[in-house]
Amino acid sequence: MLSLLMIPITLFIALSSITGALAVYVHPETFWAIAILGLLLPVTLTMNLLLCIYWAIKKKRWISVPIAAILSNIPYLLSLFQFSPSSNPENDKIRIATYNILNFKNLESNHTSIPDIVNFSESNNVDILCLQEYGESNQENAISPTSRFLSLPYSAKSWSHQTHTSNYGIAILSRYPIISSQNISFDSPTNNAMWADIKIGQDTIRIFNVHMQTTNFSQKEKQLRQQLLKDTPTGGKKAVKEIIMTLKNNLEIRAQQAELLRSIIDTTRFPTIVCGDFNDPPTSYVYRKIRGKLKDSFMTSGNGYGYTYRNLCKLFRIDYVLYSPEIHGTSYRSPSLPWSDHNPVVTGIELVK
């Protein structure tokens, strides 16, 4: 009887996983449900693995169904697990880091994380640092946090939101001269992008710093738990519907942002590096659109399991350093630090002559 029940469950989970693998090719506005299945792949693939164990114990040929689902997601699994024996930070010529710093809010205490992040940058010999969720006071005589990064004297900032007391957005800090920069507006009070041209010796590279539309999933998840704890089925259904619609709307917004960003990347004549918080995993249309022919630093130089978002069971890699083919990656690290809900990504590169 149990086996009869497990057959439709097996088929449903396998179909969800196989369909989710198509999310990279389908614009969310065309079929948003596929995009959501792409987000759920960590869950559905784990369930397929458990189903493999179940059918192996039962010695039934139904084991081939979850195996097929897992094999269809090999590209996704490779985006999560890598082995790069040649990766060595000692070979780094230029070291780049991207970090969503949560507006310098230290999650361990009520104190600012500015000293911690400055020390992180200094101790890792970072040459170019891209910060998301960066904020500073715009009051007269206020000291900018960027002035604390003594080894990174050049900076460019771009604001998505300004009030009468503060500015909020993103920043690029550099050991090397920044010769020009420009904002890329997403028409959003919380998200934007920018680029900066940086002179390194005789070469010029263009760095994109990106902070894309958030999923708002963690906040909605808390609302759902509160409704379920109150034991209100109607409220729970409403919260689930709100989560789905929030995911749908933000998937579509990120896709539009990715297309704008891609159009600008395509016109760039310099070696290009794209850093930032995409708020989307490698299974997404957004990731594939932005990446194009760029190389993913984790997939070229990473080792072990790759995640950058510290919540949601550490299942998601949503922060990236991508670079054009004329750039060679030498190392990749994403240390788990307590000062934000994201891990930083630190990548070593060298320009190929």
- Residue 310: is its pLDDT beyond 90? yes
Output the pLDDT for position 150: 96
| pLDDT of amino acid 228 | 55
- With beta carbons less than 8 A apart as the criterion, state whether 128 and 176 touch: yes
Residue 84 contacts residue 302 (beta carbons within 8 Å): yes
| C-alpha–C-alpha distance, residues 297 and 55, integer Å | 37
What integer is the mean pLDDT of 127-156?
95
One-letter identity of residue 206: R
| The pLDDT value given to residue 80 | 93
pLDDT at 236 over 70: no
Collapsing DSSP to helix, strand or coil, 288 comes out as helix
- pLDDT for position 59: 86
Overall CATH class of domain 86-215+246-351: alpha beta
> Which pLDDT score, from 0 to 100, does residue 86 have?
76
Beta bridge partners of 203: 200
- Indicate the domain borders of the chain: 2-78, 86-215+246-351
85 falls in which pLDDT band (50, 70, 90)? confident
327-333 β-sheet, strand order: 154-162, 166-174, 128-137, 94-100, 345-351, 327-333
Amino acid 41: pLDDT:
96
- Residue-wise pLDDT for 33-52, tens only, equals 999 999 999 999 999 999 99
Task: Identify the band that residue 1 occupies on the pLDDT scale cut at 50, 70 and 90.
Answer: low
pTM of the model: 0.92
At 77 the pLDDT is 95
Between 216 and 252, residue with greater pLDDT: 252
Q: Which residues of 64-90 are buried (b: 16+ CB within 10 A; e: fewer)?
A: ebbbebbebbeebeebbebebeebebe
